[in-house]
């Protein structure tokens, strides 16, 4: 059966409506529907970019789904067999406009999604030549060490920290970082594979042993305390391998680092900037190994 000009106009109208839905739907749509399953509360510029990509992808998928299901139900209703109908309608072998439509439209959708995915992925993985803060993250069974460095570590060079925070079985390590600054993490492990994960970053990277250094950067935008976990099953006390990130102002961070360089303990340095001396966000998973 040949499609009439009226039918093609209706299809074009549906496509236009779907396109307008995608264009007019912003992050507010995601907030209305609780992020469509995406975790809320990202605290970095990178996490907000990933959130926007997710919302755009879901809205585009919903628009395509509504369009396709609309066509299916319209055909079911419009061309259903009636009791008075003796024969099937004329069967059309091909329809060039429709074939061009269902070839070009999916290609355009995939191309747009690929473009924005590649763009966001590039931004999230981008590292700068001169970050504001560089921290070496060292994972070991079953705790963390955070080494504050003077700058990025050249390949093949062992870094020399200006200050160090090391967790123990009794004390959860606390990583203090400034908000509004580019923070570079250089990860390595002393034994097995671990994974550096702060849920509010909406981002995690495995920590590998040997000469492999996993590097990424974030810019934290909100002050506060955020729990950190190991997200890679690494042994007996994996679930207790906790740490805590404390995001403070740039001035408080400078004071904290100065206190560490002067030989003060992490707890004393935290108190000097008005912070609680011990971790407060790692419950309900303790770090003490009573067993």
Check residue 46 and give its pLDDT: 86
Say if 13 falls within a structural domain.
Answer: yes
Same domain, 97 and 216: no
Say if 146 falls within a structural domain.
Answer: yes
Say if 15 falls within a structural domain.
Answer: yes
Average the pLDDT over each of 10-24, 38-52, 153-167 and give the range with the smallest value: 10-24
Say if 285 falls within a structural domain.
Answer: no
Say if 170 falls within a structural domain.
Answer: yes
Q: At which of 125, 145, 175 does a domain end? A: 125
Same domain, 260 and 138: yes
What is the average pLDDT across 20-35? Answer: 55
Say if 284 falls within a structural domain.
Answer: no
Same domain, 112 and 234: no
What is the average pLDDT across 216-232? Answer: 92
Same domain, 99 and 116: yes
Same domain, 89 and 119: yes
Q: Is the pLDDT of residue 159 over 90?
A: no
Same domain, 74 and 159: no
Same domain, 40 and 171: no
Look over the chain and give the mean of its residue pLDDT values, rounded to a whole number. 84
Check residue 2 and give its pLDDT: 47
Same domain, 119 and 137: no
Check residue 12 and give its pLDDT: 55
What is the average pLDDT across 52-71? Answer: 88
Same domain, 243 and 113: no
Q: Is the pLDDT of residue 73 over 80?
A: yes
Say if 213 falls within a structural domain.
Answer: yes
Q: Which residue, 216, 29, 237, is CA-closest to 143? A: 237
Between 100 and 134, the more confident residue is 134
Domain assignment of residue 98, given as a range: 5-125
Classify the phi-psi angles of 210: left when phi > 0, otherwise alpha if psi is within -120 to 50, otherwise beta. Answer: left
* Spatial distance between the Cα atoms of 170 and 52, rounded to a whole number of angstroms: 40
pTM: 0.76
Q: Is the pLDDT of residue 16 over 60?
A: no
Same domain, 109 and 141: no
Same domain, 85 and 170: no
* Spatial distance between the Cα atoms of 42 and 279, rounded to a whole number of angstroms: 20
Q: How many domains is the chain built from?
A: 2
Say if 265 falls within a structural domain.
Answer: yes
Q: Is the pLDDT of residue 205 over 50?
A: yes
Residue 38: pLDDT band (50, 70, 90) is confident
Q: Is the pLDDT of residue 263 over 50?
A: yes
Q: Assign residue 148 the CATH number of its domain.
A: 2.60.40.420
Q: Which residue, 6, 9, 8, is CA-closest to 95? A: 8
Check residue 13 and give its pLDDT: 58
Q: Is the pLDDT of residue 1 over 50?
A: no
Q: At which of 125, 154, 186 does a domain end? A: 125
Edge-first strand order for the sheet with 182-189 is: 163-166, 143-149, 133-140, 182-189, 214-219
Question: N- to C-terminal Cα distance for the chain?
Answer: 76
Same domain, 167 and 212: yes
């Amino acid at each position: 059966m040949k499609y009439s000009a009226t039918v093609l106009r209706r299809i074009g109208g549906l496509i236009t409506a779907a396109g307008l839905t995608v264009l007019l739907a912003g992050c507010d749509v995601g907030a209305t529907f609780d992020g469509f399953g995406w975790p809320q509360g990202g605290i970095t510029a990178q996490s907000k970019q990933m959130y926007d990509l997710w919302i755009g992808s879901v809205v585009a998928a919903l628009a395509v789904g509504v369009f396709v299901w609309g066509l299916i139900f319209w055909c079911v209703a419009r061309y259903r067999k009636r009791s008075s109908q003796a024969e099937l309608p004329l069967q059309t072998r091909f329809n060039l406009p429709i074939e061009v439509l269902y070839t070009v439209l999916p290609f355009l959708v995939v191309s747009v999604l690929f473009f924005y995915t590649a763009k966001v992925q590039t931004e999230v993985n981008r590292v700068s030549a001169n970050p504001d803060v560089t921290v070496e993250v060292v994972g070991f069974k079953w705790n963390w060490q955070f080494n504050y460095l003077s700058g990025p570590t050249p390949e093949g060079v062992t870094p020399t920290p200006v200050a160090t925070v090391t967790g123990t079985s009794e004390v959860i390590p606390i990583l203090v970082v400034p908000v509004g600054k580019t923070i570079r993490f250089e990860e390595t492990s002393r034994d097995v594979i671990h994974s550096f994960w702060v849920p509010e970053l909406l981002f995690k990277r495995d920590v590998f042993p040997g000469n492999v250094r996993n590097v990424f950067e974030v810019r934290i935008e909100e002050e506060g305390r955020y729990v950190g976990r190991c997200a890679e099953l690494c042994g007996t006390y994996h679930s207790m391998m906790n740490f805590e990130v404390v995001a403070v102002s740039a001035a408080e961070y400078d004071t904290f680092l100065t206190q560490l360089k002067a030989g003060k303990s992490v707890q004393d340095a935290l108190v000097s900037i008005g912070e609680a001396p011990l971790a407060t966000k790692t419950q309900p998973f303790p770090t003490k190994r009573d067993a």
